[in-house]
Structure 1
Amino acid sequence: MNSARESHEAFVSGHSGSSAPDLILAVTPAFPASALAVLIIRGRAGWLWYFLDSFLIVVPLTLSFTVLANYTLELSTLFTILVGVAISLTKPEKITVHNDANNKKHLGCVTSLRSLLSLATCIAILGVDFHSFPRRFAKTEEYGYSLMDVGAAGFVVINGIVETKKRPYYRYIMRDGVILSVLGVLRLVLVRAANYQHHVTEYGVHANFFFTLAFIKFTCSWWVCHLKCLGSAMVALFLCLCHHLYLTVGNGGPWTLSDIPRDTLLLANREWLVSMPGYVALYFLGASLGAFVFNRSGNTKLTRPLIVITLLCGGCLAGLHHYVDLPSRRLGNPTFAGLVIFFVLVGLTSFSLIEERLAEVFPGLSSVPHTFQAINHQPLLFFLLSNVSTGLINKSINTLEVMYPWDVSIIAVYATLLVSVMYFIFITNIR
């Protein structure tokens, strides 16, 4: 048991990541694939149409994360061509109007991005335990660009985006924070009880992502509901500056990455403590972006300003990369925050472009596939089910002994079953 656990921990540890363009290309096939699903399904409901919808989205993303990871550009090009063919063959008068997320309160591009990040995380947390998942996508040990690193942090940014349209009732904030804290404790207890593999340098010995979400909920949610776009951005930039000074001048970076024993609670969870200002900054950056997106006036187009913001953010990331430091998930440094925001902006801009283009060609057609609508209905539940299912699969089989094509098949079936559960919850409106 211990040898298998140690083998798993070694398999997911010690990696240096890839590059920012490689991470973007890894999820790019999902953009035209979602548009293709929308054009083929055309708002029609029912399990048959849903399975076709989920197949068109889950399979390309699974392949781009595994056996086709070196051909993501070709895969994206193929689906883009198929979208062009579907547009040319689809008559506007035969479009079924489907009322979903395409309105001022629930933008289709935000819904699609939120769901894509959840689905990508779902696939990655199981895929990383198989050989078909490239090691360059796995979590980095110290510095580097990693798909799994930006996935979890992107979830924080998305939470900041959608938080701006909620009413700042403190009792609801406290309720959500307590729930997340309880989930964090449960995960800690279950991992210990099951002797499950645990990557200590991810958050520390005891901390986990639920504690990160709980801390942000308790300390930041009330503020982002009252700060406007510029206010949230200024808070985030101030936090990044102070955090950078602590990591460099204050020697916080070398201390965190050192091999000093984890014999106290502080030392045991130093990654979680030191990276927290970076995650808080990401949350406020998300809130700033959400204030900009949801408070736009009238029918103002969103894609063009998003393209400008994305290019500016890409320039800032390049500057941070060359003149400051490489991104580090363990430190949550400003370059890491810049990477995550750039990643989110590319996704948001892409889905905004799809949304606007479909609205022009096929008025009334939803830009959000059924799969994304179902995941967006209960994203935290989807994340929980993904974690539990991943644990059960890892305890049932030795994933290191499963080779292609069985490993890719397991990942695809696992993701399809999870989104099917979410679709059932969605159509029955279970809260």
Structure 2
Amino acid sequence: MDSDYKARKEAFVSNLAGSDIQDINLVTLVAPASVLLWSALQSRLSYFSPYGPAALLTDFLLNVLAILFATTAYSSAPLLLNIFLITPAVLLYLTQPPVRSPQKAKPPRKQNDNKVSAQDETESLPVHPFLTTYRASMMIVTCVAILAVDFRAFPRRFAKVENWGTSLMDLGVGSFVFSAGVVSARAVLKNRASKSPRAAFLARLAGSVRHAVPLLVLGLIRLWSVKGLDYAEHVTEYGVHWNFFFTLGLLPPFVEIFDTLTVLIPSYEALALGIMVLYQVALESTELKSYILISPRGSDLLSKNREGIFSFLGYLAIFLAGRGSGTRIIPRGTSASKSSQQARKSILVSLGLQLMFWSSLFFFNSYYAFGYGANIVVSRRLANMPYVLWVAAFNCGQLLLFCFIETVFFPTVHRSSGKGGEEERTSFATSRILHAFNRGGLAVFLIANLLTGAVNLTIPTLDINTPQAMVILVIYTAILTAVALGMDKANIKLRL
């Protein structure tokens, strides 16, 4: 890469201040608004069943291109785009009766007096369409942003901030980790339900290391490719050698270590808070903050990669907070005394309480109001306490919105007490594209990174005008969507 152009590229993503949280919330609201319209079309008109070319195009327009346009062409008017999506959804809901979702008849279940079968234990962990939708929407926003940020069509306020402040891409990195924590709760819940004794700690740690190796290898490959191709990079983001794959790869073994503490501290949220508080105290009462932000780069690996190494503590707290949310919303929640409707209401209440909890902590941590508050500014580079609280609050809010939309438009999808007919109901209530993005998340993310690198090495993105950039981005998202759908059809599952 030409040295002058490389310098321009690095300057293009450096020293940015981000935008306010209200602006970010309006832009990210497009994802739930798109799902709202998709749900109205499906529940009222059965528009996506069968899934023909028109349904595929509409699905792509709503759940992929709407996000792309929210961060580019409609970035100055996200409220208008939300109105365009929400208005027809509300009209359909008010004027059209719901169609009957498909359901296979099933024979009555045989009751076993005092024993719970292994199948029943598995059935206590249903597939929630709103979780699929939440994870996939987050993945699409991430994939769109990592390439769009290199074009002038993507506003600078959405790109990662230098030191202090909030931005869309800063939120995306944390949300990526939080969502991984949410789905990791499924394994925890299965282990709790299992009657077999838990594996020894060293065996579980070895398993987590095996799970981490592929991500660490990907981190090394990315490091080699960036250095070998002289690719433009923003060193203050993670450091000289560190990248996001290293952060993701180190999470499993460290999470396993902290998981052993649940014997003493049974709340993952409490563990997350403990990490946050200790890390923030270290930042405020020692020279750690100035060391990370302004200290000269030394020759040792710690100094060269201090941002990635120390911010890992914040991402670990985010992952644990996500796992805590997952343990509360993934179980079916039905029992002899609790119906499926009551169980779903409990999930909504739980998400609402989590939203209030994290939001309140964020407010008093980040502002000085009513004579209280720490007035600490968010820093993604540090992954400090207000950043962790912001990410947790935002993601609980997103989960609440997606869960509420599903409950309103597909009220029968969560009413099964077992696996019978669940596949048909969840399929009817889930976008085919979102299902594919969720199922092949890791592969799609890798391909998005490869395509981003290929585009930047072959096209001078800084010199591309907005119409040309939009054509490239639409083709890019179409390729990612085709890959995700192709993998789903081939029954290839590769999640993060």
Q: What is the aligned partner in structure 2 of residue 297 from structure 1? A: 333
Question: What is the aligned length?
Answer: 428
Q: TM-score, normalised by structure 2?
A: 0.81
Deviation at 1:190, TM superposition (A): 0.8
Equivalent-residue separation in structure 2 for 1:136 and 1:428 (angstroms): 39
Q: What is the aligned partner in structure 1 of residue 363 from structure 2? A: 318
Matching residue's letter, 2:231? Y
Is contact 2:351–2:396 with CA below 8 Å preserved after alignment?
yes
Say whether residues 1:163 and 2:169 are aligned partners: no
Equivalent-residue separation in structure 1 for 2:70 and 2:242 (angstroms): 31
Among 143, 164, 171, the alignment partner of 1:150 is: 171
Say whether residues 1:256 and 2:318 are aligned partners: no
Structure 1 residue matching 2:411: 3-state secondary structure: helix
Moved more, 295-304 or 18-27: 295-304
Larger Rg: 2
Say whether residues 1:330 and 2:392 are aligned partners: no
Alignment map for 1:360-379 (pairs within 5 Å): 360=411, 364=425, 366-379=428-441
Moved more, 243-252 or 48-57: 48-57
Deviation at 1:403, TM superposition (A): 1.1
Query: Percent sequence identity over matched residues?
Result: 28
Among 179, 188, 198, the alignment partner of 2:233 is: 198
CA pair 230-134 structure 1, distance change in 2 beyond 3 A: farther
Is contact 1:25–1:72 with CA below 8 Å preserved after alignment?
yes
Deviation at 1:105, TM superposition (A): 2.6
Matching residue's letter, 1:337? V
Matching residue's letter, 1:340? V
Structure 2 residue matching 1:405: 3-state secondary structure: helix
Q: What is the aligned partner in structure 2 of residue 306 from structure 1? A: 351
Among 82, 91, 98, the alignment partner of 1:76 is: 82
Q: What is the aligned partner in structure 2 of residue 4 from structure 1? A: 5
Structure 1 residue matching 2:62: 3-state secondary structure: helix
Is contact 1:307–1:349 with CA below 8 Å preserved after alignment?
yes
Q: TM-score, normalised by structure 1?
A: 0.93
Is contact 2:32–2:401 with CA below 8 Å preserved after alignment?
yes
* Residue-by-residue CA offset, 1:384-423 (whole Å, 9 max, x unaligned): 1111111111111011111122212221221122011101
Equivalent-residue separation in structure 2 for 1:216 and 1:49 (angstroms): 39
Q: What is the aligned partner in structure 1 of residue 38 from structure 2? A: 37
Is contact 2:439–2:488 with CA below 8 Å preserved after alignment?
yes
Deviation at 1:88, TM superposition (A): 4.2
Q: What is the aligned partner in structure 2 of residue 57 from structure 1? A: 63
Alignment map for 1:26-425 (pairs within 5 Å): 26-38=27-39, 39-40=41-42, 41-88=47-94, 90-93=96-99, 95=101, 104-166=125-187, 170=204, 172-221=207-256, 223-224=258-259, 227=262, 230-295=266-331, 297-298=333-334, 299=340, 300=343, 301=345, 302-322=347-367, 323-360=374-411, 364=425, 366-425=428-487
Moved more, 287-296 or 75-84: 287-296
* Residue-by-residue CA offset, 1:68-91 (whole Å, 9 max, x unaligned): 112111211221111123334544
Equivalent-residue separation in structure 1 for 2:93 and 2:404 (angstroms): 15
Is contact 1:17–1:137 with CA below 8 Å preserved after alignment?
yes
Structure 2 residue matching 1:164: 3-state secondary structure: helix
RMSD: 2.3
Structure 1 residue matching 2:186: 3-state secondary structure: coil
Q: What is the aligned partner in structure 2 of residue 14 from structure 1? A: 15
Is contact 1:271–1:331 with CA below 8 Å preserved after alignment?
yes
Matching residue's letter, 2:58? L
Equivalent-residue separation in structure 2 for 1:430 and 1:296 (angstroms): 26
Is contact 1:233–1:285 with CA below 8 Å preserved after alignment?
yes
Matching residue's letter, 1:151? G
Is contact 1:120–1:151 with CA below 8 Å preserved after alignment?
yes
Deviation at 1:97, TM superposition (A): 5.8
Is contact 1:232–1:285 with CA below 8 Å preserved after alignment?
yes
Equivalent-residue separation in structure 2 for 1:240 and 1:33 (angstroms): 34
CA pair 195-361 structure 1, distance change in 2 beyond 3 A: same
* Residue-by-residue CA offset, 1:22-55 (whole Å, 9 max, x unaligned): 1111111111212322425344334552232112
Is contact 2:124–2:331 with CA below 8 Å preserved after alignment?
no
